[in-house]
Structure 1
Amino acid sequence: MLTMTEAFASAVVAVAPVVLLIGVVEISLSGRKFLASYSEHADLVERRVALIPSNNADDAERARSEIDELYTRAPRIRSPLGTLAVFAGWLIGAMCQYEAFQRALSWLGTPDAGPSPGDARFCFLALSFGLSWVTLLPLLQVMASHLRISNRTRRAQRQLDAFLDATDSAREPTQSPQS
């Protein structure tokens, strides 16, 4: 059974702010990447809208082909749900780190404080969650990025191989039957 001791409370007071700071840096970086992705997407959409002709049927086909070209070159926009889930998860984690810090600091400041197993358990779980979050989240993000890039590369390689096969067969001279 966990109990609050001076050593345990001191460790919580020392570690919780560090976990909180690391988490804030991580979430800030994730937020910047997310916003950059959406900003780039918004720019592409605005460029597509700018290509729409004003009631000129002759320009409509040219505009349509330019808009289609922009769509084929546009990067895929990441779903905001994953990013929002990360933000929500870290918000809960940050609140838990802060609360663990406050409970441990309060316990240290209380003369003759009892063992307070509830506070000790909360601090332990909060720090465990926070340390897991700041350790595993970056690893999962790197793995997910690697998988996305690998999938894009494999898909592009298949398209390239199909194109090369098609052009190789078109370049091969047809053999005429010999008499």
Structure 2
Amino acid sequence: METNGVRLTAEQARSALADTEQVRASASALSATPWPTWFFIALTLYIAALPIAYGGMMADSDWLLPRPAWLGVMLAITAVYGALFVVAAKDWRNRTGVALRWDVLPKRATVPLAVGLPVLLLGSAFAFRFTGRPAWLIAASLIGAAVSVGFHLAFVRLHRKSA
């Protein structure tokens, strides 16, 4: 193989291939890197607020706020979260040159999260509706926030391992 009229040695060719493989591995690692800290905090707060907002919307009678106000709160926090997600994704793409990819994240962690978190967040609202005890909502908020922090730390570790 010649490059600009210079013939590469076998060692130089191996080194170039190793560099290419390292670039591929780095690109995969970058796409698995956790969100920026500000978005991680916003996501954690959003997850913590969801059970309370769901509970307020599903309460038998007005609980702390009228039902339409809970619906407004839910729509507002979801809109803010959606806007922040778009900003974080665009910032990520600008910084790394790689679009966000979910396929590089370990399925053994993301599938239980995708199934378990909605069950936790919505299940607590149903439990609150049937029992009238807000402890279900508070527990779901705390567990949801802990899960968010745990996944963030796991993704930080995943990135450090593959980088």
TM-score by length of 1: 0.31
Superposition TM-score, scaled by structure 2 size: 0.33
- Structure with greater Cα Rg: 1
